[in-house]
Structure 1
Amino acid sequence: MKKQTLAIDTPYQHPDAYGALSMPVYHCAAYEFDNAEEMADAFCGRSDMPDYSRVTNPTVTYFERKVAALAEAAEAVAFSSGMAAISNTLFCLASQGRTILTSRHLFGNTFALIGGTMLRFGVRPKLCDLTDIEAVENAIDDTTCCIFMEIITNPQMEIADIRALADVAHRHNIPLVADTTTIPFTQFSAKALGVDIEVVSSTKYISGGATSIGGVVIDYGTHPNFGKRMRQEMLMNLGAYMSPHVAYMQTVGLETLDARYRVQADNALTVAKAIKDIPGIQRVRYPGLADDPYHDIARRQFGETSGAMLTIDIASKEACYKFIDNLRLIRRATNLFDNRSLAIHPASTIFGNFNERQREKMDILDTTIRLSIGLEAAEDIIEDIKGGLKY
């Protein structure tokens, strides 16, 4: 079946007693077994029966199986947030004395996790320009446990060569971990590009309009024992499993993901083209634009669409604040890929707790505004941007 069909018609793991068309929400903590042997099999992973909702729940399992089917993956594991998906993945792969090879061009909390929190546990970051494949090759040593990347960096809009990074990683027997939140797995295949482990903030496109917070780790089964350790250690010991109600809402969101994404991506390209020459806008960054420095690699890796995030640069931080304050349709809010269009000033919010020198090294500019383009009419979004510039 095509992905859009799979998103709607993936069968339940067990038939529903009442023939419900939507997977019921199993709001329960524990499950009764017929006998002691059946209980032991469930707890030790020898059956697919749920044992305890901190680690397995039928509603969450159905969401995970649907994601795995859409991504053509060995397994998917659902978490309480995108950051939980990232942190559990990295704690699963790393240990004291190991290093994570990554870029300075990361989402603020991801950078803080790798460069701060994990450092306290003896795991060090090694920062490298991931667009320089030779530099990446030279940066790997015996301590490197993985390469971690974002497929379109937030908010720098940088795109590295995923296939080349995967080849380097695999030559050194380490996994490539990719945060693919900016382009949904219904649009492109991370597996085909060599990604071993995919992490996604399902809060974004998947949730269906910012209804809930969640994250997913998609395991392609190419790194030994990752899936087993994730289930038997990370979920059991760290307790960040997705809740059943969130899984229900995000399962419903998956059904319309492809349709919503295509409208948002089309809107983003229309908006980017329309505003790139407006007086007052110094630069528009969107890989769908033919003159964007990452346009060719975006087309090669992601196909005909380039996501629904773009950035604009205007005169100053003060001008950015005035622009945001002047908006009437676009919401002043964090998050990405809501049904509504959103605007934020990354330097003073997402990266507000980094000092000026740190932001400079991360290429976070005071002049940048990040826009997440929603499902409104593109013409109305464009008019609101024009209105925002009247200060």
Structure 2
Amino acid sequence: MDKKYKHFETAVIHHGYDSKQHAGSLSVPLYQTSTFTFENAEQGEQRFAGEADGFIYSRLGNPTVRVLEEKMAILEGGEAALAFGSGMAAVSAVLLSLTKAGDHIICSQGLYGCTFGLLQLMEEKYNISHSFSWLSNEEELRQLITPQTSCMYIETPINPTMKVIDLSMVAAVAKEHNIPVIVDNTFSTPYLQKPLELGCDIVLHSATKYIGGHGDVVAGVVVGSRERMEHIRGTTQKDIGGIISPFDAWLLTRGLKTLPVRMDRHCENAEKIFSRLKEHKRVKAVYFPGDEEHPDFLITQKQMRKGGGLISFEMNGSKKDAQRFLNALQLIKIAVSLGDTETLIQHPATMTHSVIPLANRLEMGISDQLIRLSVGLEAWEDIWEDLKQALDSLA
């Protein structure tokens, strides 16, 4: 955290923006421009050569975007950050920047469906292989490392099974082999978990989710060392071009200001809903990192501030029963995103993870009865009343 602001809640509002540099505007100005003018030809030459600071073209940098990047860097405890047009633009830029044909990636056993699809594409087109692991202990991890292993890619908590990975353990083993560790921190946000402070090298977000928080923007963010971020900025971000728009960056800086308040409420509501789901007769199992009986609870306590706002649960019955339950909901919306003010619910096997072959899905723990619930900011009593009436309707 920046020494200027000792507390997260203050830094998230004030860091990265000085109103004196923007005509006294309290709100971050929206620099809705594609290009920037030079005072003379020599200045243009110097900027392109990297010999002078200043903006050139919004694909290469923009003042509104820069404020977002500086905020995210300090909040995650990194040196620099990059903003992208989607979470998958961020994932692909990072993985492509760290790999070449013939390389190998170690992954957590369970990934977002589109990340899985990207890994499949990279293997088919560029012979970049990948291995899945529960990453439960050092010995298991060491056995997967080969001379071709170029990076490790981890979700924690894993989407949608909520398994938690010990990041300090993974980072320690990876450093023995000089292998960078990438962590998808979307579910936790920097308010609940800081992978870089646990020894990992790159952290990324689908900023569409909790960072934005209002369901009105699609974006991604990557944070790491200045050297690594500049390398990505000058290669895969610049040349593939998955950049964020200034307006979307503006929306994210606005959303960030309320992140701590929102996350506290998401977590409090999730704790209330979890305890009631666990007791309902139509629910076979509940997966929530804040559960004291969760197999990874000790890891959660070590590296997360709270259990988060996501809950997954398995229902008794069949896929049809799970779909009947979803269709009976009245307040809660069926949608595949998360981290919004509204409570959202979805069926991973046929939605977010439908691209994953059945055998792989089952190995990851994604059954036809699994439901993922993103607990929103409504009164928890209203959320539970809707869940309960839908569950009871199946009796």
TM-score of Structure 1 vs Structure 2, range by shorter chain: over 0.9
Does the residue aligned with 2:111 lie in a helix, a strand or coil? coil
Instruction: Give the Å deviation of 1:17.
Output: 4.6
Q: C-alpha separation between the residues in 2 aligned to 1:45 and 1:118?
A: 35
Q: CA RMSD in A?
A: 1.5
- Map 1:173-184 to 2 at 5 A: 173-184=178-189
Instruction: Give the Å deviation of 1:14.
Output: 8.3
Work out whether 1:189 is the aligned partner of 2:211. no
Which position in structure 2 is the counterpart of 1:350? 352
Instruction: Give the Å deviation of 1:110.
Output: 0.7
Which position in structure 2 is the counterpart of 1:363? 365
Contact 1:159–1:294 (8 Å) recurs in 2: yes
Which position in structure 2 is the counterpart of 1:44? 49
Work out whether 1:87 is the aligned partner of 2:92. yes
For each residue in 1:232-264, what CA deviation from the matched residue of structure 2 results, as whole angstroms up to 9, or x when unmatched? 111220101111000000000010011101100
- Map 1:1-391 to 2 at 5 A: 1=5, 2-12=7-17, 15-221=20-226, 225-303=227-305, 305-315=306-316, 316-389=318-391, 390-391=393-394
Instruction: Give the Å deviation of 1:15.
Output: 4.2
State the TM-score, normalizing by the size of structure 2.
Answer: 0.94
Q: C-alpha separation between the residues in 2 aligned to 1:47 and 1:14?
A: 23
Contact 1:152–1:182 (8 Å) recurs in 2: yes
Instruction: Give the Å deviation of 1:38.
Output: 2.1
For each residue in 1:90-138, what CA deviation from the matched residue of structure 2 results, as whole angstroms up to 9, or x when unmatched? 0010011111111331111111111334541221112223123211112
Amino acid at match of 1:217: V
Amino acid at match of 1:312: F
Structure 2: 5+ residue stretches without partners: none
Contact 1:265–1:307 (8 Å) recurs in 2: yes
Structure 1: 5+ residue stretches without partners: none
Amino acid at match of 2:139: E
Q: Determine what percentage of the aligned residue pairs are the same residue.
A: 34
Instruction: Give the Å deviation of 1:231.
Output: 1.4
Flag the 1:289–1:17 CA change in 2: closer, same or farther, 3 A: closer
Contact 2:117–2:355 (8 Å) recurs in 1: no
For each residue in 1:170-213, what CA deviation from the matched residue of structure 2 results, as whole angstroms up to 9, or x when unmatched? 00001111001110112332222111000111000011311200
Does the residue aligned with 1:192 lie in a helix, a strand or coil? helix
Contact 1:157–1:285 (8 Å) recurs in 2: yes
Q: Which moved more, 1:48-57 or 1:111-120?
A: 111-120
Flag the 1:14–1:120 CA change in 2: closer, same or farther, 3 A: farther
Amino acid at match of 2:283: I
Amino acid at match of 1:307: G
Q: C-alpha separation between the residues in 1 aligned to 2:240 and 2:39?
A: 29
Does the residue aligned with 1:260 lie in a helix, a strand or coil? helix
Q: C-alpha separation between the residues in 1 aligned to 2:18 and 2:197?
A: 27
Contact 1:30–1:52 (8 Å) recurs in 2: yes
Q: C-alpha separation between the residues in 2 aligned to 1:292 and 1:149?
A: 19
Does the residue aligned with 2:326 lie in a helix, a strand or coil? helix
Flag the 1:47–1:187 CA change in 2: closer, same or farther, 3 A: farther
Does the residue aligned with 2:324 lie in a helix, a strand or coil? helix
Q: C-alpha separation between the residues in 1 aligned to 2:136 and 2:374?
A: 24
Amino acid at match of 1:120: K
Instruction: Give the Å deviation of 1:351.
Output: 2.1
Amino acid at match of 2:303: Q
Instruction: Give the Å deviation of 1:13.
Output: 6.7
Instruction: Give the Å deviation of 1:46.
Output: 3.4
Contact 1:131–1:159 (8 Å) recurs in 2: no
Contact 2:107–2:130 (8 Å) recurs in 1: yes
Q: C-alpha separation between the residues in 1 aligned to 2:377 and 2:14?
A: 25
Q: C-alpha separation between the residues in 1 aligned to 2:18 and 2:307?
A: 34
| Aligned length in residues | 387
Amino acid at match of 1:211: D
Flag the 1:205–1:48 CA change in 2: closer, same or farther, 3 A: farther
Q: C-alpha separation between the residues in 1 aligned to 2:253 and 2:123?
A: 32
Contact 1:336–1:372 (8 Å) recurs in 2: yes
Does the residue aligned with 1:371 lie in a helix, a strand or coil? strand
Q: C-alpha separation between the residues in 1 aligned to 2:160 and 2:16?
A: 38
For each residue in 1:273-303, what CA deviation from the matched residue of structure 2 results, as whole angstroms up to 9, or x when unmatched? 1221111111111011111112111011102
